[in-house]
Amino acid sequence: MNSVAALCLNIPDIKRCIQTEEDRTVTVRTLLLLSLWSCRSSSPGGAFGYVHSAADTWGVALAVRLPFIRSLRKNMAGLELLSDQGYRLDGRKAAELRKVQARMGVFAQADGSAYLEQGNTKALAVVYGPHEIRGSRSRALHDRAVINCQYSMATFSTAERKRRPHGDRKSTEMSLHLKQTFEAAVMTQLYPRSQIDIYVKILQSDGGNYSVCVNAATLAVIDAGIPMRDYVCACTVGFVDETPLADLCYAEESGGVSSLALALLPRGGQIALLQMDARLHQDHLEALIEAAMTACKGVSKVLDEVVRQHLQEVSSLTGE
Amino acid sequence: MLKSKTFVKKTRSGGVMKIVREHYLRDDIWCGSEACSGCKQESTVLQTDACMESSLCSYPHYLVPDTNVVLHQIDVLEDPVIRNVIILQTVLQEVRHRSAPVYKRLKDVLHEKEKHFYTFTNEHHRETFIDREPGESANDRNDRAIRVAAKWYSQHLKTFECDKDGLKVVLLTNDQGNKQKAEESGLLVYKCEEYIKSLIANPELVDRLALSNDDKNEIGSSKVLFPEHLPLSRIQAGIKCGSFLQGTFRASRDNYLEATVFVQGEGDDSTEVLLQGLQNLNRAVHQDVVAVQLLPRSQWVAPSSVVLQDEGAAKDDDVEEEEEEKALRISAAEAARKPTGKVVGIIKRNWRPFCGMLNVSQIKESTRHLFTPADRRVPRIRIETRQASTLAGHRIMVAIDGWPKDSRYPNGHFVRSLGSAGEKDTEQEVLLLEHDVPHQAFSQAVLSFLPKMPWAITPEDMVRREDLRHLSVCSVDPPGCTDIDDALHCRELENGNLEVGVHIADVSHFIRPSNALDKEAASRGTTVYLCGKRIDMVPELLSSNLCSLRSNVERFAFSCIWEMNHKAEVLKTRFTKSAINSKASLTYAEAQMRIDDTNMNDEITKSLRGLNKLAKTLKRQRIDKGALTLSSLEVRFHMDSETHDPIDLQTKELMETNSMVEEFMLLANISVAQKIYDEFSECALLRKHPAPPPSNYDILLKAAKSKDVEIHTDSAKALADSLDGAKVDGFPYFNTLLRILATRCMMQAVYFCSGMDSDFHHYGLASPIYTHFTSPIRRYADIIVHRLLAVAIGADSTYPDLMDKHKQSALCNNLNYRHKMSQYAQRASVAFHTQLFFKSRGILNEEGYVLFVRKNAIIVLIPKFGLEGTVFFDTKGKTVPNLVFDEEGPTLSVEQHIFCIFDKVKVTITLDDSNVQHQKIRMSLIEPVITGVSVPAPDAEPQAKKLKLDN
């Protein structure tokens, strides 16, 4: 497990990898931590080598989205996201999470499944595997399992019913992020030449889709009995009036906040994924990441409780 | 702690959309009262002895105003008497939706500690949140929420109050239905008027009450005077299909029945629509955004040249008015007719509190009076007050509440009194208000960002700064200057070159981006200098102490250091943040004396001599490049040290040292402009001075031609050269007069953002690029430039707004506006003091020169006082002499005498105070003697008058 230590990224390392632009604001876009395996195989060139800036591969696609984010910012200027008394739109304080409720083992047919609500964002995660590689055998890796993620949104998940075809750019991107997050957390080396499928569906969307998916999928993976290094907990944070806001809801996300999504392995404090599409002054980045980590640790506590309770229920059923 | 509560909202954005939002209810929201023992709050806002002496409530109580009370009576709530008020979140949000200015004012009040205003987040409190019931409107639901919260408060206080002295909660509402329901549920509730009237100690607050709706109906006859305004939806539809035009309403200064609407077209083309007659003006007030409909071409009229002032008595005297309107419609020549229209609706009111004076009603007991604003373009306003007798002769402020269609005048309410008219403080206040100069004391929020005293430089501060404390730096400023923002030094280097440093106060070190202090400074834009008073842009602690580069104290500076050779060529330029210790703060005269005194040979004097020598070379180089030296007479008042009355008036003298400091400031500004532009080509804040269009020079060319002098205006250089060459024998003042005229031809210099413009040239200084860097204490533009430069040299970090060219551009617009207004205010202040001066001097006979010739008057400049005045030849009630105006000259012949520009005349100056609001200096001609026009020279009697004043 030495490599886990090597994986541990601290904030200065991240800062070094982030492009600082002419005006001293940073656009993190997406920083992905490649799976453990690729870390080990890459040259040990310090932490720098372990981080792959997805801006190279995804930069073009994401850059297109930036003006869109800006235009939103203009439209939604009408909402006061944080009142002088320190309350947010929905009555939470800055660091408070939404109410998290979860159940494991919701489907019998799948190997593992979980349903998770974070406020009004609701997601269903289902895990199959590990099993033999389906389809082309050439995808198989000789020393570890392939993780296959698929993200989708229900047609009824948003305010307006909308057909969402598979494989549109947004969901492909999200699938890739999920895949990379779980490659960093699942101990894939235990299952060489096999495949693990993770399917996540957003049933209702109210901000923080990525983090809810990660949290739900974690529970599903645990339910499937696949060993992981730690829970992967994710949370978004936004930055308003010099204050980081934890776990943004949709109104806040679209209200022109620079938001950052972070997936964390809480026990070791390792960052599995860090993503930010908006621009932010580099001085604030550290505070924001700090707040995101605290929020993720909060989520992990809830997940842990859910798992323990589930375990108790299951064991009482089997009479142990 | 978290209670999840989901509720459903429908909003309209394109179509109907269902929005689901979470709503958490909490039980950790405290009541904010000092008397409460139940809440676990850390700090309290509301006091235990909340005493406002009221005949209705003899017990201590908290006020809970509803939304309409806050919206309409914010003037009352802002009064220091009103304390211990609970503003509910429901109210705050509704106010935010309905009126941004009121919301801002309410926020300011909430921040003020002495006011004890508390915001109670009732919408998220478990016990005060209510759901909307089926069939209930949003407004009713909010009213109910307010009642529920007030109820909760009164029960909460009853239960948890520690010493049971009967703290109560009083709900204020003007809504009859709401009041009734509140009474039914056992709440203490009063109408706002009832309550304010019951306040024992403060009868004057009553006048500040805005008229509420039901009162309005009583005023004015039932006769409908004006056509109805169209609803906004129809206006928008009309504008879209082109039947209406949208524009800014500009009332005429001279004729209250006439106005123009300035319609901004696409690009540069814009049209003006003429409006005539009260019906067509239809209750629009100066600066409102209105929708106008063009009248058919047959009804178009020409602007009238008649001067009409609304002198009608308080009663609506329409007979007379109709006659006046008829007088306007004298059929004009077809060519002179202009597009004429009528106002069909108001898109946005632009009402602000207006300054002016009260016309006391003739009926003694009447409480309704008319108010005449100082700005002639604003109609008179009807207000209700009981203190008319005390307010008569005072300058007061009045806000308009509304203008019903059956009322001849808008209805308003008294806001505050500024003091008696004619008094210096009052008049100063008036001119500040009328020129929109923010001059209130700095708020607590702003002051909280000041450094803590005693302040000293710490070693951490010095890490990123160069230590220049050993240099013999000195500052040269006008006498009495306390905000010193620049200091200089000059020393010889070992290689024989000279090192020259300009050290500018490092204001950006103290004012950090986007805090309240910064926002306030940005909104003020500039320090305004009036005669005997300075309205600071930043609090005094900074402007006169921590930032001011006073002598013998250590101060932070932003230094611009050049290496120059003796020919004043710049070899090297560098910028650095530094710490300096000025060795002397000199006045221009003192510095001049040191330079001239050959016995003095200390470091500072040597440094000054070096600077002076270089400055002369720099100036020559600059003039060779085509920089203009223009002239405008600036006057300086000698003030009495105790009464602050002007005793003497003097035109400002210029010394060599003035231009010495100026040269180096220009050089620093240009160097910095280049540097920030190189670094940030998109968002550098620069200053440009556009070349004037050739037609601007017509008057100058004609004037010069009349004296057989040729002026070339092809380029700045040609102009400068020909101005230098323009001399007339036996008329030494001619050149100065010509330069004064040339100054009037120039354009206004403006700030702009480099990413939004391509023409950077500064015409007057003949520099390709220019900015303002050297006076950050008194100009906000300089602070931005400091920040940009600091980033460019890596001494500071940026923030997003600094790099956003659109935000920069918006900031530039504000700065240009403030700058212009501060100049107007300055001029108005000088004019007022000139009046005071002449009041104390009585009648004076002076010599002057004709500066302009108009159709019916000449404008005379008196060099001794730098005073300009108009001599009219067609005074009312006198036989008008035979006037012939020749535009070519331009000349004006009055009877037999012909006036040309530059003629020498003798005039007598008196103060005309027949109109208290608009006092002015009156000049009449003494020489040349023209029968029927000129007046015999009266005896000048300055001393006698002055004695009288002293008594």
A15 and A144 co-located in one domain: no
CB atoms within 10 A of CB B789: 27
Domain-located, residue A179: yes
Verify that A110 and A236 share a domain, yes or no.
yes
pLDDT over 80 (residue A20): no
Q: H-type helices in B112-218, by residue range?
A: 138-160, 176-184, 192-198, 205-208, 213-216
- Residue ranges of the domains in chain B? 2-208, 226-302+336-350, 464-687+753-823, 692-746, 842-927
Q: pLDDT averaged over chain B? A: 81
Read off the pLDDT band of A235 (50, 70, 90).
very high
Pairing relationship of beta strands B891-894 and B883-886 according to DSSP bridges: antiparallel
Residue B275 Cα, gap to closest chain A Cα (Å): 37
Which residues neighbour B66 within 8 Å (Cβ) at sequence distance 6 or greater?
B91, B143, B146, B171, B172, B173, B174, B175, B178
Which of A21, A42, A77 is the endpoint of a domain? A77
- Comparing A253-257, B365-369, B779-783, the range with the smallest average pLDDT is B365-369
Please provide the CATH number assigned to the domain covering B842-927.
Answer: 2.40.50.140
Q: Which of B912, B907, B908 minimizes the C-alpha distance to B835?
A: B912
In a domain, A87, yes or no: no
With vertex at residue B398, the alpha carbon angle to CA B394 and CA B400, rounded to the nearest 5 degrees, is 160
What is the structure's pLDDT at A37? 29
pLDDT of residue B830: 83
Of B17, B23, B803, the CB nearest to A159: B17
Q: How far away is chain A from the Cα of B790, in angstroms, using its nearest Cα?
A: 12
> Would you say residue B258 has pLDDT above 80?
yes
Range A11-19, long-range pairs (CB < 8 A, 24+ positions): A11/A285, A11/A286, A11/A289, A11/A290, A13/A46, A13/A47, A13/A48, A13/A51, A14/A51, A14/A271, A14/A274, A14/A289, A15/A282, A15/A285, A15/A286, A16/A47, A16/A48, A17/A48, A17/A51, A17/A53, A18/A282, A18/A285, A19/A53, A19/A55
Q: CB pairs under 8 A, 24+ apart, for B407-410?
A: B407/B219, B407/B220, B407/B225, B407/B382, B408/B220, B408/B225, B408/B316, B409/B370, B409/B379, B409/B380, B409/B381, B409/B382, B410/B283, B410/B285, B410/B379, B410/B381, B410/B382
Residues 659-698 of B with CB under 8 A from A: 680, 683
What is the pLDDT averaged over residues A44-61? 32
Residue B924: CA count within 13 A, CB half-sphere: 15
CB B900 within 8 A of CB B707: no
Nearest to B797 among A24, A120, A251 (CB): A24
ipTM of this predicted complex?
0.78
pLDDT at B385 > cutoff 90: no
Q: What share of chain B has pLDDT > 70, as a percent?
A: 85
A45 and A113 together in one domain: no
| Stretch among A66-80, A144-158, A223-237, B78-92 having the lowest mean pLDDT | A66-80
Contact B221, B406 (CB under 8 A): yes
In-domain check, residue A17: yes
Instruction: Give me the pLDDT at residue A100, please.
Output: 93
State the CB neighbour count (10 A cutoff) for residue B372.
20
Q: Give residue B245's pLDDT.
A: 86
Residues 6+ apart with CB under 8 A from B455: B546
Based on the fold, state whether residues A238 and A282 are members of the same structural domain. Answer: yes
Same domain, A59 and A105: no
Residue A66: its pLDDT value, please?
36
Q: Is the pLDDT of residue A269 over 80?
A: yes
Per the model's pLDDT, the better-predicted residue between A239 and B215 turns out to be: A239
User: Do A193 and A241 have their domain in common?
Assistant: yes
* Rg of chain B (C-alpha set): 32
> DSSP for A182-215?
HHHHB-GGGSTTEEEEEEEEEEE-SS-HHHHHHH
Averaged pLDDT, B287-312? 74
Contact B23 A160 (CB under 8 A): no
Euclidean distance between CA atoms B698 and B745, whole angstroms: 9
Please report which confidence band the pLDDT of residue B945 belongs to, taking 50, 70 and 90 as the band edges: very low
- Model confidence at A307: pLDDT above 60: yes
Tokens of B513: 């981006």
Look at A146 and B404; give whichever has higher pLDDT: A146
pTM over 0.80: no
DSSP-based three-state secondary structure for A11: helix
Q: What is the pLDDT of residues B430-463, one digit of tens each?
A: 888 888 888 888 888 888 888 888 888 888 888 8
Q: What is the CATH number of the domain that holds A283?
A: 3.30.230.70
| Residues in chain A within 8 Å Cβ distance of B19 | 159
The predicted structure's pLDDT at residue A111: 94
Contact A99 B797 (CB under 8 A): no
Per-residue model confidence (pLDDT) at position A7:
38
Q: How many domains does chain A have?
A: 2
> What band does A185 get if pLDDT is binned at 50, 70 and 90?
very high
- Strands B411-420 vs B394-402: parallel, antiparallel or unpaired: antiparallel
Same-domain check for residues A129 and A27: no
In a domain, A201, yes or no: yes
DSSP-derived letter for residue A137 is G
What does the mean pLDDT of chain A come to? 78
Residue contact A25–B803, C-beta within 8 A:
yes
State whether A159 and A15 are in the same domain: no
Q: Comparing B653 with A222, which gets the higher pLDDT?
A: A222
| Same-domain check for residues A60 and A129 | no
At A308 the pLDDT is 95
User: How do residues B484-532 score in pLDDT, each as one tens digit?
Assistant: 889 999 998 888 899 999 999 999 999 998 888 998 999 999 999 888 7
- The shortest C-alpha distance from A24 to chain B (Å) reads 6
How far apart are alpha carbons B873 and B898 in whole angstroms? 13
Whole-angstrom distance, CA of residue B577 vs CA of residue B790: 8
Q: Are residues A308 and A162 in the same domain?
A: yes
Question: Is B875 within 8 Å of B883 (Cβ atoms)?
Answer: no
Residue A32 has pLDDT above 70, yes or no: no
Whether B219 shows a pLDDT value over 50: the answer reads: no
Distance from CA of B74 to the nearest CA of A (A): 20
Residue B508's H or E segment, with its range, is: helix B507-510
Residue B364 DSSP code: T
Mean pLDDT of B609-614: 90
Give the three-class secondary structure for A233: strand
- Residue A118 CA: distances (Å) to CA of A125, A206, B258: 14, 9, 64
Is B23's CB within 8 Å of A91's CB?
yes
**Is residue B354 over pLDDT 50?**
yes
Give residues with Cβ within 8 angstroms of A314, minimum separation 6: A105
- Is A163 a domain residue? yes
pLDDT at B304: 66
The structure tokens 């008027």 sit at: B193
Whether A88 maps to a domain, the answer reads no
Question: Do residues B119 and A84 touch, judged by C-beta distance below 8 A?
Answer: yes
Contact A279 B800 (CB under 8 A): yes
Cβ of A84 within 8 Å of Cβ of B21? The answer is no
DSSP assignment of B514-550: TSHHHHHHHHH-B-EEETTEEE-SS-HIIIIIISS--
For residues B818 and B808, give the distance between their C-alpha atoms in angstroms, rounded to a whole number.
15
Residue A94 domain flag: no
pLDDT at A34 over 50: no
Residue B553, pLDDT > 60, answer yes
- Is B791's CB within 8 Å of A24's CB? yes
Whether A18 is in a domain gets the answer yes
How far apart are the C-alpha atoms of B616 and B567, rounded to whole Å?
10
> Does residue B796 register a pLDDT over 80?
yes
Asked if A99 and B2 come within 8 Å (Cβ–Cβ), the reply is: yes
Give the distance from CA B75 to its chain's centroid. Answer: 21
CB atoms within 10 A of CB A242: 10
A44 class by beta-carbon count within 10 Å (0-12 exposed, 13-18 middle, 19+ buried): exposed
Tell me: do A249 and A289 sit in the same domain.
Answer: yes
- Closest chain A CA to residue B802: A23
Tokens of B932: 């029927």
Among the residue ranges A3-12, B132-141, B899-908, the one predicted with the least confidence is: A3-12
User: In CATH terms, are B226-302+336-350 and B842-927 the same topology?
Assistant: yes
pLDDT surpasses 70 at A155: yes
Between chains, do A281 and B798 touch, taking CB under 8 Å as contact? Answer: yes
Q: Does domain B226-302+336-350 fall into CATH 3.40.50.620?
A: no
Q: Given this model, what pLDDT does residue A114 score?
A: 96
Is residue B336 scored above 50 in pLDDT? Answer: yes
Question: In the prediction, which pLDDT does A62 show?
Answer: 31
Cα A25 to its chain centre, rounded Å, is 24
| Residue B54 in tokens | 């009221």
List the domain range (segments joined by +) for residue A295.
Answer: 100-318
Q: What residue has token string 């419609």?
A: B329
Are the Cβ atoms of B22 and A249 closer than 8 angstroms?
Answer: yes
Q: What pLDDT does B236 receive?
A: 86
All residues of chain A having their beta carbon less than 8 Å from the beta carbon of residue B18 are: 159
Q: What is the structure's pLDDT at A201?
A: 95
The Cα–Cα gap between B419 and B439 comes to 16
Q: Which of A83, A91, A282 sits opposite B26 (nearest CB)?
A: A91
Between A and B, how many residue pairs show a Cβ–Cβ distance under 8 A? 67
Q: What is the share, in percent, of chain B residues with pLDDT greater than 90?
A: 12
In 10 A of CB B843, how many CB atoms?
16
Q: Is the pLDDT of residue A221 over 90?
A: yes
In this predicted structure, the answer to whether residue A57 has a pLDDT above a threshold of 60 is no
Burial class of residue B418, CB neighbours in 10 A (0-12, 13-18, 19+): buried
| pLDDT tens string B754-773 | 888 888 888 888 889 999 99
pLDDT band with cut points at 50, 70 and 90 for residue A195:
very high
Mutate to test the interface with B, among A87, A205, A281 (most CBs of B within 10 A): A87
> What is the end-to-end Cα distance of chain B in Å, rounded?
75
Per mean pLDDT, which range of A111-125, B291-305, B879-893 is the poorest? B879-893
pLDDT tens per residue across span B640-670 = 666 666 666 666 666 778 888 888 999 999 9
pLDDT of the residue at B223: 60
Q: How confident is the model at residue A5 (pLDDT cuts 50, 70, 90)?
A: very low
Least confident of A69-78, B158-167, B396-405, B590-599: A69-78
8 Å CB contact between B906 and B858: no
Asked if B741 and B699 count as a contact pair (C-beta separation under 8 A), the reply is yes
Residue B220 pLDDT greater than 50, yes or no: no
Task: Report the distance separating Cα B159 and Cα B37, nearest Å.
Answer: 9
Q: What is the CA radius of gyration of chain A?
A: 19
Half-sphere exposure of B896 (CA within 13 A, CB side): 5
Q: Token match 């209930």: residue? A: B136
| pLDDT band with cut points at 50, 70 and 90 for residue A75 | very low
What mean pLDDT is predicted for residues B628-639? 67
Q: Are A129 and A271 members of one domain? A: yes
Choose which CATH entry (3.40.50.300, 3.40.50.1010, 3.30.70.260, 1.20.140.10) describes domain B2-208: 3.40.50.1010
Q: Hey, are the CB atoms on A90 and B802 less than 8 Å from each other?
A: no
